[in-house]
Amino acid sequence: MILVVDVGNTNITFGLYRGKELTGTFRLMTGTPRTSDEYGMMMLDLIDHYQVGRADLDGVIISSVVPNVMHSLTGAIERFLERKPMIVGPGLKTGIHIVTENPKEIGPDRIVDAVGAFEKYGGPVLVMDFGTATTYDLVNEKGEFVAGITAPGIKISAKALWEDTAKLPEVEIRKPASILAQNTVTSMQAGLVYGQIGQTEYIVRKVKEEAGLEKMHVVATGGLGSIIADETDVIEVYDRTLTLDGLRMIYEKNTAHA
């Protein structure tokens, strides 16, 4: 079994794999400061919930966009799980060749998504991740990461509305019954959700146009991706476990001959 760990700006997501089968997932909030002891005890409790012991783990792989979490987290894995984690970054085999102007600028989370999408669906593929930020990354038929677009995520936009205006309340992010909103809450929901749908459809269309790729796979993932995927036909598939699957694939590529 392996443990994959995706450290995002909002959540740390853990996945347990037995071979290619995802047997369990759990999440912790990223923004809560924790010691390595706290991470360690939580991880032991959580894997025990799935009847997995330390001896069952062959390895651990981490993708992180939050550097200040890594010292405590990696220390916890080494001490409590007795495994040295593989960390997504330079030197690891991914199968994806980054051909943008500055490959070092591409975050590990985007590389992991690109690996998962290319391996599962083939290229060319546009993979979008509806997380804290909304990202759109294009991988061509040769497995080259050729372009990436970054936009504010739905939650960031929502937070800006209710924190930077005096009278707008915090609302649940969901699609209202109609875009013809008649109260403050549904007005905000309509702007947030339909605005994201419109952005998605326009960006997909422009990527196809400028890349000359009318036929390409369009794959979405991320916490709020299902809301958008259900409301537009430009998204071919919503893949909830894409990032975790990508981490597993990278681990396998780097341990195949170990």
Whether the link from the prior residue into 124 is cis, omega within 30° of 0, is yes
**Active site annotation includes 109:** yes
Q: Which residues of 24-41 are buried (b: 16+ CB within 10 A; e: fewer)?
A: bbbebebeeebebeebbe
| Helix spans in 22-66 (H) | 36-49
Contact status, residue 113 vs residue 130, Cβ threshold 8 Å: no
The one catalytic residue among 6, 48, 109, 164: 109
Question: Between β-strands 133-139 and 97-98, what pairing exists: parallel, antiparallel or unpaired?
Answer: unpaired
Contact status, residue 96 vs residue 194, Cβ threshold 8 Å: no
The rounded distance, in Å, linking the Cα atoms of 148 and 153 is: 15
**Using CA of residue 107, residue 113, residue 118, residue 123, what is the dihedral sign?**
negative
| Phi, psi dihedrals of residue 12, rounded to the nearest 5° | -105, 120
Which residues are designated catalytic? 109
